[in-house]
Amino acid sequence: MIARPVAPGGTHPQLMKVDLKEVLGQPGRLLSPGRWNKPQVQQVSLGERQVILKDWRTMAPWLRPLARHLARREARIYGLLQHLESVPRVLQTGDRVLVLEQVPGRRISRLRGHRAAAAAAQALEVIVARIHAAGVYHFDMRKRDNILVTDEGEVYLIDFTTSVAPRHYGPLGWLLRPVAALVDRYAVLKWKNALAPEVLSAGERRLLHILDRLRPWRKNR
């Protein structure tokens, strides 16, 4: 766990950057093997510190330009969100690699039936509204691994590999924004219904029913 020191004057807390060569030189624990279009993800120990290494260099050599584009794209998305407490901090960037702080937490799905479930569901809704206000749409919250809850009850969104920032797409972004917002909205409603259905309003229940009937996306995994 990387502690977030309290910054003076209510400013955003800063984390000490890590040495990229040191991170790349350490053996890591594989969290995800990656795919042709997704990075390998490892947990790397730096003494008592744990960091997450996202490595697009594992993609095929002939996909190097794509790997570089995907790494830079995700780094830009994180850059738009670094003022939010609910998103991991970027500790270092490099050629086709990204180092992030590790968020210590458990999958949000493990809160089913827990007394903290309702608070977590409502916190998730607030967090999503904040990332949308920052111009980012997660696009993959149906995956339970991408929403973590700490022992203190703090909710974090992680893994912005498939996320989009419409501002980066020019005029096309105006068309992308409502679709991306609906995808995230549907995911939030699904999680609220799974964790604490009592917090759903009548309008939310109707919208969830309509989207479930259309089934444009798979259920929470």
Q: Where are the domains of the chain?
A: 8-101, 106-214
The fold of 106-214 is: Transferase(Phosphotransferase); domain 1 (1.10.510)
Per DSSP, helices labelled H in the chain are: 20-25, 64-81, 117-133, 172-195, 202-214
pLDDT of residue 2: 36
Q: Are strands 49-55 and 97-101 parallel, antiparallel or unpaired?
A: antiparallel
Sheet holding 147-149, edge to edge: 106-107, 147-149, 155-157
pLDDT of residue 71: 96
* CA–CA dist 108, 90 (Å, integer): 22
At 1 the pLDDT is 32
Q: How many whole angstroms separate alpha carbon 181 and alpha carbon 58?
A: 31
- Both tokens of residue 65? 């330009």
Query: Nearest to residue 137, comparing CAs of 100, 166, 102?
Result: 166
| Topology of the domain covering 8-101 | Phosphorylase Kinase; domain 1 (3.30.200)
The pLDDT of residue 168 is: 87
Q: Which residue has the tokens 């260099």?
A: 57
Rounded CA-CA distance 204/186 in Å is 10
pLDDT at 190: 96
| Fold match between domain 8-101 and domain 106-214 | no
The predicted structure's pLDDT at residue 14: 56
| pLDDT score recorded for residue 174 | 87
Other C-beta atoms within 10 Å of 47: how many? 7
Q: pTM for this one?
A: 0.86
Number of C-beta neighbours around residue 65 at 10 A: 8
Digits of tens for pLDDT over the chain (221 positions)? 333 433 333 344 556 689 999 999 999 999 999 888 899 999 999 998 999 999 999 999 999 999 999 999 999 999 999 999 999 999 999 999 999 999 989 999 999 989 899 999 999 999 999 999 999 999 999 898 999 999 999 999 999 999 999 988 888 888 999 999 999 999 999 999 999 999 999 999 999 999 998 875 454 44
Q: What is the structure's pLDDT at 21?
A: 95
Q: 159 near 140, Cβ under 8 Å?
A: yes
